[in-house]
Amino acid sequence: MMKKIFFMSLLALTFVAVGCGKDGEKTYDVPAKSETKIEGKNVIRTQVVQEGKKAVEITYFFDENVKYDHQEWKIIFSTVAGATTAGLAAQIYYASKPTIQVSYSANVVSIIYPLGEGTGDEELKKVTSLSEVESAVQIADILGVLSLF
């Protein structure tokens, strides 16, 4: 019975949050193509999940010695409601891992994974040049995590 009440409350909270969009917030365009690019000492992977509806932009951060540091995800939705619902779900999903930071604003959910918590961290620690990162990134893992949202 308590479980049912919890889920009903969670559902009600989600509907309230979706209905309370913040006026004037800048929304971001959903990327139209998947690509990997190197910007400075970081590698940015953009993966289109549903064309025109959902994409993820993952930035892999490295120091000046090409030592992997951490990763940050921006999941971009076509609607504010989609990001709000996914943001709430992500906060609940990661509630037991306080080192992972989740936030959402407008149509973007942001997740910051510290070293050791991100997808593919063990492979990325072995990278010795930024050009190697593209082959180290596992798209199947990205899509698996996104299926939660």
Pairwise CA distance, residues 130 & 14, whole Å: 40
- pTM for this entry: 0.77
Per-residue pLDDT for 11 more than 60?
no
Q: For the chain, first and last CA: distance in Å?
A: 26
Tens-digit pLDDT profile for residues 25-41: 678 899 999 888 999 99
The residue among 53 and 133 whose pLDDT is bigger is 53
- What digits encode the pLDDT tens for the residues 111-127? 999 999 988 888 889 88
What does CATH list as the number for 31-146?
A: 3.30.1830
Are the C-beta atoms of residues 114 and 97 closer than 8 Å to each other?
Answer: no
Q: Please classify residue 43 by burial: count the beta carbons closer than 10 Å to its beta carbon, then call 0-12 exposed, 13-18 middle and 19+ buried.
A: buried
Q: Could you tell me the CA-to-CA distances from 78 to 49, 96, 128 in Å, in that order?
A: 12, 28, 36
Closest CA relative to residue 139, chosen from 30, 47, 31, 33? 47
